[in-house]
Amino acid sequence: MKIENAVAIVTGGSEGIGLGIARALIAKGASVTITGRRESVLSAAADQIGADWIVADVGVEADAVRTVDEVVSKRGRLDLLVNNAGMGRFAPLVDMTMEDFEAVYRTNVYGAFLMGRQAARQFVLQDGGHLVNISSTSGLSGGKTGTAYSSSKFALRGMTECWRAELRPHNVRVMLVNPSEVMTPFFSKVGSVQQVSERKLRPSEIADAVVGALEIDDRGFIPEFSVFATNPF
């Protein structure tokens, strides 16, 4: 993919991995629109990196449709969707509430589906495009208290494989990225304290990996990869 002058959407782009990916794409010359639910945070992040922004909840069908349609209307096409928006709720199975379980799936699964579907419709019309789903190593191996989050990432992996099979004949490359622990605001949002370490991954490592994978000539692509810290302890 030639990132220079490409038109991209990065969901959940106001902080963390999404912001890192958006920044890296802009540095390569892409036109990037970031999305999020908090207007003040989103607009400040967009101003910081030189991105467009759209307030939207990926888990709301009308918002997903509007996001893609606005970008295509403004830019004339869409070359890349990075499905990064995600959330977590962690509790033992016996304590997990239906409300929390549904909230995680609303963003991590339904949101990815809604954005992916709308982007895919445009990609098919164009006969080409790139779709990157940001998952987690939690989607490769479950663990304690991960009923909602881990299973949502397993679901995302399954959807990715389905989309890849469907969209390859339309010259669409669908990739899955599985970061291990990254230093982001994610942990504080789920009520956990993250141990800060200079050895742990930063959003920039994930962004560099995504950019590197995208820059392969379009005759080939990397279907899935994981990113681990070398020695985080």
Tens digit of pLDDT for each residue in 59-80?
Answer: 999 999 999 999 999 999 999 9
Candidates 47, 6, 5, 37; CA nearest to 132 is: 6
3-state secondary structure of 206: helix
Which of 123, 149, 163, 186 is the catalytic position? 149
For 195-204, what is the mean pLDDT? 91
CATH code matching the domain that covers 7-227, chosen among 3.40.640.10, 3.40.50.720, 3.40.30.10, 1.20.120.720: 3.40.50.720
Whole-number Å distance between alpha carbons of 203 and 205 = 5
pLDDT, tens digit, 9 for 90 and up, residues 143-198: 999 999 999 999 999 999 999 999 999 999 999 999 999 988 877 677 677 788 88
Pairing of strands 172-179, 31-36: unpaired
112-138 burial code (b ≥16 CB/10 A, e <16)? bbbbbebbbebbbeeebbbbbbbbbeb
Res 199 pLDDT > 70: yes
Whole-number Å distance between alpha carbons of 200 and 231 = 8
Q: What residue spans define the domains of the chain?
A: 7-227
Q: How far are the Cα atoms of 9, 10, 90, 119, 227 from residue 28, in angstroms, in the given order?
A: 15, 15, 36, 22, 21
What lies within 8 Å, CB to CB, of 164 at 6+ separation is: 174, 223
Res 220 pLDDT > 90: yes
The position carrying tokens 């799936």 is 105
For 69-94, what is the mean pLDDT? 98
pLDDT class of 201 with cuts at 50, 70, 90: very high
Beta-sheet strands, E only, within the chain: 7-10, 31-36, 52-55, 80-83, 129-134, 172-179, 224-227
Q: Return the pLDDT at 188.
A: 66
Q: Could you tell me the sign of the dihedral formed by the alpha carbons of 19, 49, 24, 80, in that order?
A: positive
pLDDT, tens digit, 9 for 90 and up, residues 1-59: 999 999 999 999 999 999 999 999 999 999 999 999 999 999 999 999 999 999 999 99
Contact at 8 Å (CB) between 131 and 81?
yes
pLDDT, tens digit, 9 for 90 and up, residues 96-146: 999 999 999 999 999 999 999 999 999 999 999 999 999 999 999 999 999
Q: Return the pLDDT at 233.
A: 86
Contact at 8 Å (CB) between 53 and 76?
no
Rounded to two decimals, what is the model's pTM? 0.95
Angle at 7 between CA 33 and CA 224, to 5 degrees: 90
Q: Could you give the dihedral angle defined by the CA atoms of residues 30, 181, 59 and 211, in that order, rounded to the nearest 10 degrees?
A: 20
Active site (annotated) includes residue 105: no
Contact at 8 Å (CB) between 212 and 221?
no
For 212-231, what is the mean pLDDT? 97
What H or E segment, with its residue span, contains residue 141? none
Contact at 8 Å (CB) between 34 and 56?
no
Q: Return the pLDDT at 196.
A: 82
